[in-house]
Structure 1
Amino acid sequence: MAEPTLSRRIAELAAETDLGRLPADVVASTRLRVLDTLGLALRAQELDSSRAVIGYVADQGGRAEATAIGVAGRVPAALAALVNGTLAHSLDYDDTHLPSVLHPSAGVVPAALAAAEAVGASGAELVAAVAVGIETCVRIGMAGYDKESGNSTFFEHGQHATSICGALGGAVAAGMLHRLDADGIQSSLGVAASMASGIIEANRTGGTVKRLHCGWAAHSAVTAADLTRRGLTGPPTALEGRFGFFQAFLHGTFDAGQVTDRLGEQWAVPGIFFKPYPANHFTHTTIDAAAELRRRGVRPEDVESIEVGVPGPVIRTIGEPIEVKRAPRTGYQAQFSAPYAVTVGLLGGGGLGAALEDYTDELAADPLRRELMAKVSVVADPRCDAIFPHQFPAVLTARLSGGRTETVEVLANRGGDQRPLTDEEVGRKFADNAGAALPAGEAERLRRAVLALDTLADVRALLHP
């Protein structure tokens, strides 16, 4: 008998997994990821890019199947996934898996939620589908992780792995919620492989299209599962085939073991990093290090220069072009700037240490922050290189007036396995985000409902009680 293909292995896991087969820590973590994702999507409605997608979907019409945040009534499930996925990724506040550097929940959760609403699935079904979808997304992403270089091959090719792998993970989740068998889920993944896309040039030179990527992944996922249940089929060797996914995106260089090893036994979900701050994840330890300088009594006027040492591969995202990173034109550009991260930490931020209110167009242009950013350089640090990409460390060296020097090392990310957020901190993050978009009572109702998600008989009551 022929060895099962990679997509078959994933499909069989998906077809046989229900809530009772998931470890307790996977269930608990999955609930928190649904909570986090919904809070982010609710908060992101205020962005111009969000309004563009919300307006687009509101104009489309169609069957009332699922909730699109910001759109009155229900809309077709794929369009709901488009809106919610876009919003979930738009604040650069969504969770991160390392070392793949994927943001799995922002694509998978909106796809699963839309499919679940469309079919009237239970909360238990939704939790199982999200867990398997995230697992699929991460494992496919890790197949493209190059251990030798310590970097993702997807990124080296200019591809946004989050969007690309998220489409496949979301398709598996949506297939489960449509109650497809292993053949159907395998086809759903195979169809989505022809829809996966996303390039990351916007990270480097601007543009808001990256915010769309998780929405497009979720839209592709829901569409793939819906087409599959109607009879469309995908190739059984969609991943490893001669003209398959890994050949197309990774030029045929991939680690199949990352997809199959201990599949169904070892789960990625509990180890995925929550983001405490609404900025590119590479900047977080810089915020923490600068905050430590502040706690030591360093004031902006004391600073003559600050050198931010980071892993070499992240410099192109948060340190180049240095002229742009020292003078971001918008709050969005500031989210990808190590010099701006120094200002947030040194001046003090809101929320858990940095809040959305700290990343505005006005603050990006603030003369005090501009003056401070002009004194910041970003360099590769060998200590950080040795740790990356399992963490995104930073070493700050501040040269101060009077000849004094202060050095701060932050070698592990807050929100990750070494410095995890508590459930209460994740809840506070949700309250800050959802509370800005919903009445206080409704935000609290939603929080309680999500934390009891696996007991919910019909997920349509989640967003429309």
Structure 2
Amino acid sequence: MGVSVNNSQDGRLSASSRYAPTAEPIAPTVAEFAHGLAFADLPVDVVENLRTRLLDTLGVSIAALDLDTSRAALTYVCGSGPAQAHAIGLSDPVPAAGAAFANGVLAHSLDYDDTHLPSVLHPSATLVPTVLAAAERFGADDAKAMAALAAGIEICIRLGMAGYDPDSGDSVFFRHGQHATSICGTVGGAVAAAVLAGLDPPGIASAVGLAASMASGVIEANRSGGTVKRIHCGWAAQSAIRAAELSRAGFTGPPTVIEGRFGLLQAFLRDDSRPQTVVDGLGRDWLTRDLFVKPYPANHFLHAVIDAADALRRAGLCPTDVAEIVVLAPGPVIRTIGEPLAVKRAPQTGYQAQFSGPYAVTVGLLGGGGLGAARVDFSDTRVQDPVRRDIMAKVTVVEDPECTRVYPHQFPAAVRARTVDGRELVERVMYTRGGPERPLSPDELHRKFRDNVDGRLDPEARDRIIAVVARMGQDDPTIPGLMDDVGRASVMPR
């Protein structure tokens, strides 16, 4: 299926594969793949991976109910039309597109959702809300929902990889200031929603064609603030549902919408795209296996910074001993975690702190609530703490060639501290926790879920959700009951 590409030893696609034409239009190829995919076709490890995505996304979404933006999203969709699907935190169903929007906003708001490397995507924050809403809307069973989730996540990742530049080791989407997560998630979500809507391959292909005109996302908020990024995955999930519904109603899209002269990849990436990566090995080589679960509620570029600073703390470094700290990071991430430095040294909100290298050092040095980093560390109150402000003022962020070489297959970092008595201490973290090289254990995954829903769900509902997700795809339809449980999450006082 598609055209073969040259793979180098480290897993990167070689530059020689770039610009190669696809053997056939991509959208119909993707549609045939998704339409023919059954739960029984999925490798066992991919099924377990998907169940992890589902439980993790539900947990981080419930945890986000505290946010003003979450309340705004739920208010926006509440009472907006026919009762079709559940939004987390609302006991009464809302239109499917509204449920997908609200749940997508919740899933991405804490920056606690999963990441694919090296595409630097957060696929589940769009795909899980899309699939849950579409499954309720169209009455799909769990097995079909799991197959649709597998297809949607895989296509989302492959579109992101079409924008990965192996020469620079960077995402062309991000280089252009575009949010690859929401752009690729809209299309991958449309694939999943169209499958659950019962569309045939031409209908799925048209949903892809429609979704491409809805895909969007600008990431300036990562640099200078604003909460708009929180709506990106919600907007993508909503658009995915709409694309499936519009295709079902009879609207059509171009078969060459992905790779064509005026298609999605040319429009966003120009000639810096590799369209053949979308279909090469599709159904055989599951890129979904490369997803990372985040142990900390912050931008993924910061995780190794937190771990390195925490290691220095455990080795005996006290904040009062510090004269100067340098964060050594991959070149491409500095614009997100280190620029403008004055802003990164003085974030005004917990949300801004989620993208601050200096603040990540502070969290690590102060122990992160005993967990490395906890949600409370990224509260508006803690960000304003004078002790934390004093530490951040001593931190700079610079490029490290060794980290740049490894990026973006990992998000490494090092922290170098100079003490007031002249000592220099360095700690490097080259492999990020939560990925294939350093996976979180089942106990850690369940602990993260329990921490996220504590005070929002009663223990019986919490344990019921864990049990349902653990067998998702093997039972009679359980998604309506699952969503009824998470829909009631807001009734518990925190």
1:172 corresponds to: 191
1:7 corresponds to: 27
2:77 and 2:163 mapped to 1: Cα distance? 33
Shift of 1:283: 0.5
Shift of 1:121: 1.4
2:481 corresponds to: 461
Mean Cα deviation higher: 263-272 or 432-441: 432-441
Shift of 1:181: 1.6
SS in 1 for 2:414: strand
Out of 15, 19, 22, the residue aligned to residue 39 of structure 2 is: 19
- Which amino acid in structure 1 is aligned with residue 64 of structure 2? A
Mean Cα deviation higher: 417-426 or 214-223: 417-426
Matched, 1:41 2:65: no
Shift of 1:395: 1.3
2:259 and 2:398 mapped to 1: Cα distance? 38
TM-score, length basis structure 1: 0.98
1:310 corresponds to: 329
Task: Note the alpha carbon deviations across 1:4-58, whole angstroms, 9 max, x for none.
Answer: 3111111111011011001000000001101011111111111011111111111
Mean Cα deviation higher: 81-90 or 223-232: 223-232
1:32 corresponds to: 52
SS in 1 for 2:28: helix
Out of 201, 204, 209, the residue aligned to residue 185 of structure 1 is: 204
1:423 and 1:225 mapped to 2: Cα distance? 35
- Which amino acid in structure 1 is aligned with residue 78 of structure 2? A
2:403 and 2:264 mapped to 1: Cα distance? 32
Shift of 1:454: 1.2
SS in 1 for 2:376: helix
Out of 108, 111, 114, the residue aligned to residue 89 of structure 1 is: 108
2:230 corresponds to: 211
The answer to whether the 8 Å contact 1:352/1:429 transfers is no
Mean Cα deviation higher: 398-407 or 160-169: 398-407
Q: CA RMSD in A?
A: 1.2
Task: Note the alpha carbon deviations across 1:131-174, whole angstroms, 9 max, x for none.
Answer: 11000000011001111111111111111000000000000011
SS in 1 for 2:116: coil
Structure 2: gaps (5+ residues): 1-21, 486-494
TM-score, length basis structure 2: 0.92
Identical aligned pairs, as a percentage? 57
- Which amino acid in structure 1 is aligned with residue 463 of structure 2? E
Matched, 1:269 2:288: yes
**CA distance 1:25–1:352, change in 2 (3 Å):** farther
SS in 2 for 1:454: coil
2:10 corresponds to: none
2:369 and 2:211 mapped to 1: Cα distance? 40
Matched, 1:145 2:164: yes
Runs of 4+ in 1 over 6 A off after TM superposition: none
1:351 and 1:421 mapped to 2: Cα distance? 17
Out of 371, 378, 386, the residue aligned to residue 397 of structure 2 is: 378
Matched, 1:74 2:93: yes
1:284 corresponds to: 303
1:201 corresponds to: 220
2:464 and 2:375 mapped to 1: Cα distance? 23
The answer to whether the 8 Å contact 2:265/2:275 transfers is no
The answer to whether the 8 Å contact 2:88/2:483 transfers is no
Task: Note the alpha carbon deviations across 1:164-219, whole angstroms, 9 max, x for none.
Answer: 00000000011111121211111111110010011001111110000000000000
Matched, 1:223 2:251: no
**CA distance 1:352–1:454, change in 2 (3 Å):** farther
2:90 and 2:455 mapped to 1: Cα distance? 17
1:341 and 1:6 mapped to 2: Cα distance? 41
Matched, 1:296 2:310: no
1:113 and 1:214 mapped to 2: Cα distance? 14
**How many residues matched?**
463
2:72 corresponds to: 52
2:269 and 2:420 mapped to 1: Cα distance? 50
2:451 and 2:142 mapped to 1: Cα distance? 24
Shift of 1:451: 1.2
- Which amino acid in structure 2 is aligned with residue 243 of structure 1? F
1:436 and 1:399 mapped to 2: Cα distance? 42
Shift of 1:428: 1.0
Matched, 1:238 2:257: yes
2:141 corresponds to: 122
1:189 and 1:352 mapped to 2: Cα distance? 41
The answer to whether the 8 Å contact 2:127/2:188 transfers is yes
2:373 corresponds to: 354
